[in-house]
Structure formats: structure tokens, C-alpha cells
Structure 1
Amino acid sequence: MKKTWRKNAVGYLFLSPWLIGLIGLSIIPMAASLYLSFTNYDMFTTPKWIGMDNYKHMFEDPKYLTSVKVTLTYVLLSVPLQLMFALGVALLLNRGLRGLKIYRAAYYIPSLFGGSVAVSLLWRQLFGGEGLLNKVLAHFGIHGMNWISTPDTALYTLVILSIWQFGAPMVIFLAGLKQIPLELYEAAKIDGASKIRQFFSLTLPMLSPIILFNLVMQIIHAFQAFTPAYIISGGTGGPLDSTLFYTLYLFQKAFTLFQMGYASAMAWVLLIAVAIVTAIIFGTSKKWVFYQE
């Protein structure tokens, strides 16, 4: 018993930094946030218990409903387009190009810096009234606009930025493509299957677990988008709340208006919403995911 206890003690000793971090930086803050979501708290006074009022107020808050609409639009546009672009580039790189590692690294770099403040500032300059895009259009006699200051186009500039960060799912798709046996393509070719038929009847089914993984990860990432909207809109979510992401409105409530209770409630609604979406995707995946044997 003593030897077993000593072995376990050594294991828990090595695990202790992670356990302390999990409890101190995740579990306790989440529990505190859950409690604060039922209170009226502004960081300077004692939290006052108000029950479900914060959650009820959300559905009466026009800006909150706008942030939900903007975020859902962003997720529904950016995630499919990013995955399609990533898969297309992965298919091109899978054709045995020379210098594959260089191309793979070059395409992956935007995923590392795409959410940074520097790139967001660059994006704001690129799509501004005097930006590079308008200068290129001017060469063709097309009069551009201030894309990030126009309500009809501001959100789409952020969608394009998200698509530009296709490197991470592309690398995963490329790894999945290399695991598909070449014998399957040879057999399909002998049977007279065209390239398009091979893609839809062989490549996509064999990649379905990878598609599922990338889909879930990119949806979660899209719901958490914050930095580009904050930097490009100057923290306002403008113009006319067209880039008011859910996380940005949460930030405004918490650290501008100091409505910590309301912001905590928003955070928990987002967590539950992402969990429900993820559960639905996994629940329906059996109909379209074909796992490799």
C-alpha cells in the first residue's frame, strides 16, 4: 500500500501545476462567473442577487440581439468559405509539388498572425478609403469606397480576413489527404470514375472525420472572434453596429459600462450556445461521417 501511495503521490506531484492551473484559472473563475450572472455587479459595489433578470433583459436589449445576428452571419459565412478554400489549397498541394514544406509553411503563417492587432491594423488600412484595394480598383477606372466604414460591406471585410486564415485547417486537410490509400484512386480510375466523381465519391467520404474536426474547431473559433472587430471598428462595433460581434458587446458591457453581472450572463449564454451547436454537429455526424477502417 505504501509503495502504491508513493507512486500515486509522485504522479500527483507532477500533475499539481496543471491541477492548480485548472482549479485556480478555470474552475473557480467559471463558478464565480456563474454566480455573478445572477447578480447586479459593477466591480465597485457588493454583488446584489437579482435572479434571472440579466438573462431576461438580454431578449429586451436591441444591441444584444444585433450582436447575435452579426455573429451568426459571420459564422455562417466565414466557416464554410474558409473550409472550402482550405480544402482546395490542400488538394493542390497534395499533387506532389516541389518545395511542399515551403508552401505549407507560407500558407500556415496567416493563421498565426491573422488574429493579431498588427494584422487587424493592416486590414483596416487595406480596406480604408485610401487603402490599397481602392488604389488597385482605380487603375481599372473603378471608384472604390471606404469598405470598413460602410455598413453594407464592413462585416464582409472581416469575413475575408477569416478566410485568409485558412492555414490551420489546410494543414490538417493535407495530412488527411496523405492518409488516403492511392490504391483506391487507382481502382476508381480503372472503373472509369472521373476526377470529379473520385472527389465526391472517394475523397470527401474518406476526409469526413477531418471535415468534422475542422468544422467544430472553426465554428468555436468564429464564435470567439474579437480582435479584428475591436481593432477595425475602434471598439465600437460600427458602423451602425454592423461589426458588433457578440464578444465585442460582451467586452463593452464588462469593461466599458462595468456591468459585470450582465456580461457574465452573456458569457454563459455563449458557452451554452456553442455547446448546443457542437452537440448537434456530433449528433448528426453519423449520417455523413465515414470513418476509415
Structure 2
Amino acid sequence: MSQDLTTTLPPVRADGPARNRKAKRHRSEATAAYALIAPNMVLLAIFVLVPLVGAFVLSFQRTNGFGSADWVGLENYGRLVGDPLFWRALGNTVLFTVIVTPVSMALGLLAAVLLNSVLPARGLFRSVLITPMAVSGVATALIGVLVFDQNSGILDKILRALGLPGAQWQSSPTAAFASVVLVTIWWRVGFNMLIYLAGLQGIGTALPEAATIDGANAWQRFRNVTVPLLGPSSFFLVVLNVIYSFQVFDIVFVLTGGGPRNATSVLVTYAYDNGFVTRDQGYAAAIGMVLLLLAVVFTAAQWRGSRTRELTE
């Protein structure tokens, strides 16, 4: 009977003190982690969240930045609907994004694949491609001015030396837009290459070698093995490149100033003109809020689409 009671009674657990020590250790680690990230959170709140809230409130006001502001509610947002220059800037921004994002990512992937192979002087080529990342967008745009200036630019001099007509980079809307796109692609390829190169080096050689043994050629290995495994890198780059393209300012401002005839005007340059040239800062803030909404919606849609693909595969 005593043996039956002994076997049926639950065992006495003596790990209470150990569990408490483990919980205390976790709390101390969490406290240390919060203490380490607290300065960054404070800076984020001061320089990002507070200005963001201020811009949101400003978008409901009419003000030139001096004196008191008048509360106008949704009037600034209503003006956007009937403003043809806003829709022109939005169309230019979308077109710029649609061109720059896939082209710069494709060239970055191509460069990463080449520089991940046994290409001679790989270190030199990597340094050359990454160099634009080391300078600011303004400096990159100034280099673009040296190349694309229609009067004294290097490119037009080369074209004329070859007996070809020079392009009107600052006078023709199409040529001006093309110059902005080309300079931006040159600036972004190095960053895309760097992210893809890190992804390629994380893949290893086991899966491509297995595909080779199964009879896959180089294109099949690239399409069916490399590209799917680079999915996280591609997702990161799509989101980052689209957000950058929607926020492009410095290259457009230095190269063309939004001209000619608003052919290269984008949302940020149009917001700048309203906020600091015509001093309609409430309207400029409304444009900024629309830009923020577009970026958030795209990022959320891209993230949801990526999660859906992962769950269905």
C-alpha cells in the first residue's frame, strides 16, 4: 500500500531557487539591454518622433513660419487633390522609383555575382563600386553636374568629339529626367552590390554544387537556387530603395532644381519649394504627410506579401 502511495504521489520539485536565479538573471539582462538602447531611443524620440508629430500638426495649419498659425483643418489636404503640380511631382516620383529601383538592384546583383566569383582584381572593382557610398548625395550630384552639364559637361564633350550632337541636359525635360536617373543609379548600385554580396557569401557552395551534380547549368543554378536564397536581401533592398526613391531630394535639387518646366520635380522638392520658397509651410507639411503615408503603405504591403509567400512555400 505504501509503495502504491509513493508511486502515485507527484514528485517534489526542488528547482524553485534555481528558477528564481534564472528569472533574476533574465531581468538583469533585460535591464542592461534597455539601458544600452535608451540613449538611441531618446535620440530617436527627439529627432524623429517629435518633428514627425510637429509636422503632422502643422499640416492642419496655415503658416509661413513666422508669427501665429491659423488652424484650417483638412484644407491643405483638400488643396492637394486639385493641385496639378502636386500630381506632376507624384507622377515623377513614381516613375523615378519604377525605373531606379529595379535597374539599380539588377545591376547590383550582377556586380555581386561577378565579384563573388574568381574575377581578377575583385578588390579593386569592389572599391570602385562602393566609392559613391562614401560621399554624400550632394557631392554625387556635383559630380553629375560635371558630367551632364550641357555647356561644359564631360559627356557632351565626348559626344561632340565623336561627331555626335550633344544632349540638352538642362533644357530638355526627357534629358534632364534621364540625367537624374543615371546619376542615382550610379550612386545606388554600390550599396545594392554590397548587400547582395553579403547574401551570396552567406549561401555557401553546397546547394549550387548539388544543383550542378543534378545537371543544372549556370543560368538554372542562378535562377532556381541563387535568386530564391537571396529573397531576404531582395526584400530589404526593395523596401530601402523605394523609400529612398520617394525621398530623393539632393540629387534632383543640385542637378536640375526640379526643372525644366517641373519635368524633374518630385514630392520632396515640391514640398521644399512650398515650405522654404513660397513659405506655405502648412501645405508643405501636408505633402510630407502624404509622402510618409505612401512609404508606410508600400512597406506594409511588401512585408505582408513577403510573409504570404513564405507561408505558402
**2:62–2:70 contact (8 Å) kept in structure 1:** yes
* Aligned residue pair count: 287
**2:275–2:281 contact (8 Å) kept in structure 1:** yes
Cα deviation, residue 105, structure 1 = 2.4
Asked if 1:92 is matched to 2:92, the reply is: no
Cα deviation, residue 101, structure 1 = 3.5
Instruction: Tell me the distance in 2 between the aligned counterparts of 1:265 and 1:213.
Output: 28
TM-score scaled by length of structure 1: 0.89
Structure with larger Rg: 2
Alignment of 1:42-191 (within 5 A): 42-113=64-135, 115-129=136-150, 130-165=152-187, 166-191=189-214
Cα deviation, residue 30, structure 1 = 1.6
Asked if 1:250 is matched to 2:290, the reply is: no
Match of 1:195 in 2: 218
**1:209–1:290 contact (8 Å) kept in structure 2:** no
What amino acid maps onto 1:94 in structure 2? N
Deviations 1:179-214 (A, max 9, x none): 113121122112211111111111101111111111
Instruction: Tell me the distance in 2 between the aligned counterparts of 1:172 and 1:10.
Output: 31
Instruction: Tell me the distance in 2 between the aligned counterparts of 1:257 and 1:146.
Output: 29
Instruction: Tell me the distance in 1 between the aligned counterparts of 2:28 and 2:240.
Output: 39
Q: Give the 4+ runs in structure 1 shifted more than 6 A.
A: 3-13
Instruction: Tell me the distance in 2 between the aligned counterparts of 1:7 and 1:289.
Output: 32
Cα deviation, residue 14, structure 1 = 5.7
Cα deviation, residue 19, structure 1 = 3.9
Instruction: Tell me the distance in 1 between the aligned counterparts of 2:29 and 2:217.
Output: 59
Q: Structure 1 77/179 Cα, relative in aligned 2: closer, same or farther at 3 Å?
A: same
Cα deviation, residue 15, structure 1 = 5.2
Match of 2:306 in 1: 285
Instruction: Tell me the distance in 2 between the aligned counterparts of 1:288 and 1:83.
Output: 20
Judge which range, 129-138 or 49-58, deviates more.
Answer: 129-138
**Which consecutive residues of structure 1, in runs of 5 or more, have no partner in the other structure?**
none
**1:55–1:265 contact (8 Å) kept in structure 2:** yes
What amino acid maps onto 2:294 in structure 1? A
Instruction: Tell me the distance in 2 between the aligned counterparts of 1:34 and 1:230.
Output: 24
Match of 2:46 in 1: 24
Instruction: Tell me the distance in 2 between the aligned counterparts of 1:15 and 1:289.
Output: 31
Instruction: Tell me the distance in 2 between the aligned counterparts of 1:10 and 1:112.
Output: 34
Instruction: Tell me the distance in 2 between the aligned counterparts of 1:164 and 1:290.
Output: 36
**2:184–2:251 contact (8 Å) kept in structure 1:** no
Alpha-carbon RMSD: 2.5
Match of 1:269 in 2: 290
Instruction: Tell me the distance in 2 between the aligned counterparts of 1:219 and 1:182.
Output: 31
Match of 1:215 in 2: 238
Instruction: Tell me the distance in 2 between the aligned counterparts of 1:288 and 1:13.
Output: 37
What amino acid maps onto 2:86 in structure 1? Y
Instruction: Tell me the distance in 1 between the aligned counterparts of 2:65 and 2:311.
Output: 51
Identity of aligned residues (%): 30
Other structure's SS at 2:230 match: helix
Instruction: Tell me the distance in 2 between the aligned counterparts of 1:39 and 1:205.
Output: 48
What amino acid maps onto 1:24 in structure 2? I
Cα deviation, residue 148, structure 1 = 3.0
**1:205–1:290 contact (8 Å) kept in structure 2:** no
Judge which range, 149-158 or 66-75, deviates more.
Answer: 149-158
TM-score scaled by length of structure 2: 0.84
Match of 2:4 in 1: none
**Which consecutive residues of structure 2, in runs of 5 or more, have no partner in the other structure?**
1-23
Q: Structure 1 100/68 Cα, relative in aligned 2: closer, same or farther at 3 Å?
A: same
What amino acid maps onto 1:31 in structure 2? V
What amino acid maps onto 1:252 in structure 2? D
Cα deviation, residue 118, structure 1 = 2.9
